[in-house]
Amino acid sequence: MSAVDVSVSDRVATITLNRPEAGNALNLEVATALAEAAEGLRGSDIGAVILTGAGKSFCVGGDLNWMREMGDEVRDAVLRLATKFHAGIEALAALDAPVISAVRGAAAGGGMSLAIAADIVLASETARFTMAYTAIGFSPDGGSTWTLPRLVGPRKAAELMLLNERLEPEAARSLGLANRVVADDVLDAEAQTLARKLAAGPPAAHGSVKRLLRDTWTRSLHEQLAEEARTIADLAGGRPGREGVAAFLEKRAPDWNS
């Protein structure tokens, strides 16, 4: 059984963490498989990605039993784990395709970091989000020290990381960590519907939105305006932009992928 399953249908890729018996806990095998799955989508015509977990939990975080088994080698083992984990997150961020995390059950530690790294987060009514790292004497990984303060502000991020408050799905939504809360039995269907809608859209424009939003935090207003101008001009001058304008004026559905 693969630690991470990948399936593709109608330009939607679904990446499933597949250790349900362990709550999809992250060990080196899972992190490596996640990175390989994400990197394998580069250069493909995938229009959207769904990230989810098999069984009752999205991901309970790092595999503490695996860490204990590493004994005196645990430092190097965790460094390898985090490095592979981060490679997967960076590969997902680099895709033009929007990434949707479909979260049911626990999203704790690295699981929460992974869930909120997505572009859109769907939470089922069973979802529970918690940072959890400092509860075992760890600091966060998975990019959450970058992502979380940008989503909720530095004060709330510090509170969540230091006190390990467990967030119910509506609380996560109100903070901006989840976009929508849905019934558990329709989570997968809702993720598929949203992914297919995104996959039917303009890939280059979606990728540009992802990059502009990600890089806005490191640019001045002047720099961001200049990048917006360059990006919209490039899209307008390219085939997809020309097709989008033509389709709108001709009152027809655009063909983004021909």
Mean pLDDT of 23-50: 96
Write down the architecture of domain 203-249 according to CATH: Orthogonal Bundle (1.10)
Residue ranges per structural domain of the chain: 4-199, 203-249
Measured between alpha carbons, how far is 192 from 202 in angstroms, rounded to an integer? 18
Q: What's the pLDDT tens digit per position in 46-56?
A: 999 999 999 99
* Superfamily per CATH, domain 4-199: 2-enoyl-CoA Hydratase; Chain A, domain 1 (3.90.226.10)
Closest CA to 31 of 143, 132, 142: 142
Q: What percent of the chain stands above pLDDT 70?
A: 100
Closest CA to 145 of 160, 165, 135: 160
Domains 4-199 and 203-249 in one fold: no
Mean pLDDT of 77-88: 97
Count of helices and strands (H, E) across the chain? 11, 8
